[in-house]
Amino acid sequence: MRDVAVIGVGMTQFGELWGKSIKDIFVEAALKAIKSAGVDHIDSMYVGSMSSGLFVGQEHLGAVLVDYLGQNPIPATRVESACASGGAAFRAAYFEVASGASEIVLAGGVEKMTDGADVTDALATAADQEYEVYQGVTFPGLYAMIANAHMHQYKTTREQLAAIAVKNHANGANNPNAQFRNLVTLEQVMSSTLVADPLRLLDCSPVSDGGAAVILCSMDIAKKFTDTIVKVKGTAQASDTIALHSRKSLTTLNSVVSAAQKVYKMADVTPKDINFAEVHDCFTIAEAVVYEDLGFCEKGCGGPAAEEGRTAIEGKTPINTSGGLKSKGHPVGASGIAQIIELYEQLTGQAGKRQVKNAHIGLAQNMGGTGASCVINILEAV
């Protein structure tokens, strides 16, 4: 396979975009990405969306969006892997370019969550409908059960989880596209409304609208279009049981461990080589567990790492410099692509006040459900 580059990115503001439809949101992000890359056409596109059918009653999303983007008759496919749809769409685009089948491919993601659907019910479709959701469990509930088990097994504290939300809001405050640009305090997180004990409102990523898109092309021709190029150094995906209860451990996400092993091998790096990462902090506990399972620290140290500032922008391994899902927002299908955009901006020195010093290699970890699917991509500055 040949080397692949990311040559342009674009995203909408994340938030409650009442005046914009799913088509408007995607097209805005895609046009920005195409303009940023300096290309005059795309050969193909993939769009990640978790549940456009439930959120806005629209399936056949590839066809809808390529039509409104004015790019007919190029092939366009919607990719779905729940909350990892964006990461999976990026991976599909990567392979299409790496294989030589296409030269310039758009990888996008979009979700429109505020058009009136029962969001809790729609998100719950990422879990086992008959054996988890039937009992009334919600996504905050599933992650709350991971949190309780983690607190029991590793003595992770409520304060440590809150520190993750505080850190991510501090980062998001410097991200102009973030849904929440306000700072929060430890006390505010720990006194916010209980959603599913021990998780509170400020432990949870929000309901968001948003779109994101990136342009990939072969490394051979990248320089023809732009000087701001990032190399795709590795990509991997892995799966785990759909139901949380079927796993041997409730505190280790095996899809993350497995995808990490594969992507580190492909990129020929170790966790120590990763300068910063965007991880799937749908809930604060998720960031703690994923940080451990990516090999950035021993099991059980995810909480202390945040509390001690090791994951802050000036820390040893900055995590979620964009604000993460928590502060930037979580329009589900767009999140995996927005992670790639943060990597691109950091690796090309365009992250402004969020800029990580010496950002050379970045990792984006995107997962579906309680980690039944996980996609990890590693990008490198050129």
Catalytic-residue membership of 83: yes
Q: How far is the CB of 130 from other proteins (least distance, A)?
A: 6
- Here the tokens at position 68 are 């409104």
Mask: binding to other proteins, 214-253, rule CB under 8 A, as x and -? ---------------------------x-xxxx---x---
- Locate 50 and state its tokens: 């978790």
Q: Counting contacts by CB under 8 A, is residue 58 touching other proteins?
A: no
**Least distance (Å) between residue 142 CB and other proteins:** 8
Please list every residue from 96 through 135 that binds other proteins, using CB under 8 A: 118, 120-121, 124, 130-135
**What residues pair up with 77 in beta bridges, in sequence order?**
46
Site track 134-163 with other proteins (rule: CB under 8 A), x = hit: xxxxx-xx--xxx-xx--x-----------
Q: How, if at all, do strands 209-218 and 4-11 pair?
A: antiparallel
In 134-169, which positions are buried (b, 16+ CB within 10 angstroms) versus exposed (e)?
Answer: eeebbbbbbbbbbbbbbbeebebebebbbbbbbbbb
CB-based contacts of 190, cutoff 8 Å, min separation 6: 158, 159, 162, 200
Size of the site for other proteins (CB under 8 A): 34
Q: Which two tokens stand for residue 255?
A: 């899809």
Q: Is 196 helix (H, G, I), strand (E, B) or coil?
A: strand
Neighbours of 41 (CB within 10 A): 9
Catalytic residue among 280, 297, 330, 374: 330
**204 catalytically annotated:** no
The answer to whether 302 contacts other proteins (rule: CB under 8 A) is no
Q: Nearest approach, Cβ of 79 to other proteins (angstroms)?
A: 25
197 interacts with other proteins by CB under 8 A: yes
Q: How would you write 4-63 as a 3-class SS string? A: EEEEEEEECCCECCCCCCHHHHHHHHHHHHHHHHCCCCCCEEEEECCCHHHHHCCCCHHH
State in angstroms the smallest separation of the CB of 225 from other proteins: 46
**Residue of 83, 217, 282, 374 marked active site:** 83
Judged by the rule CB under 8 A, the positions of this chain that interact with other proteins are: 118, 120-121, 124, 130-138, 140-141, 144-146, 148-149, 152, 193-199, 241, 243-246, 250
- Which residues participate in catalysis according to the annotation? 83, 330
